[in-house]
Amino acid sequence: MPLNEEQTQRVIDIAMDLSREGKAGELAEFLDHGLPVDVADGDRNTLLMLAAYHGHEETVGMLLERGADPDIRNARDQSPIAGALFKGEDAIVARLLAAGADLDAGTPSARDAARMFGREHLLEQ
């Protein structure tokens, strides 16, 4: 029996919390049971955005391995890589860069965020 709308929203909320908390193993179980890897909350934050912003490298890696799109921007036009730059998450920036994140997407773009915080070196390959 499929989930109703309220149950579906609850599953998404739990998954968002797991991503925010860096609980990669538990989050992977949700994905294994059919939760789309690029599901987003009401502010259009994806699981990847929340994991990147909150500094959870293992969770970011797991999501990217499962095909998460590194370029989906939230309702504020922020990209995961710009969020990671803002938070000083160098290892996550490297992972997103390796996954092909668009450095010019969003406001501010990753390039602009890197300039603002003196982290331009992180964007050099």
Q: Mind listing the pLDDT tens digit for each residue in 3-48? A: 889 999 999 999 999 999 999 999 999 999 999 999 999 999 999 9
Confidence (pLDDT) at 125: 59
Burial (CB < 10 A; 0-12, 13-18, 19+), residue 99, is buried
Residue 88: is its pLDDT beyond 80? yes
Superfamily of structural domain 5-123? Ankyrin repeat-containing domain (1.25.40.20)
**What would the mean pLDDT of 75-91 be, rounded to a whole number?**
94
Distances (CA, A) of 67 to 3, 7, 73: 24, 25, 16
How far is C-alpha 100 from the chain's CA centre?
Answer: 13
Residue 40 bridge partners (DSSP): 46
Biggest CA pair distance of the chain: 52
C-beta atoms surrounding 14 within 10 Å: 14
pTM of the model: 0.93
How far is C-alpha 45 from the chain's CA centre?
Answer: 7
Q: pLDDT by residue (tens digit) across 102-117? A: 999 999 999 999 999 8
Residue 77: is its pLDDT beyond 70? yes
Tell me how far apart the alpha carbons of residues 50 and 23 are, in angstroms, rounded to a whole number. Answer: 12
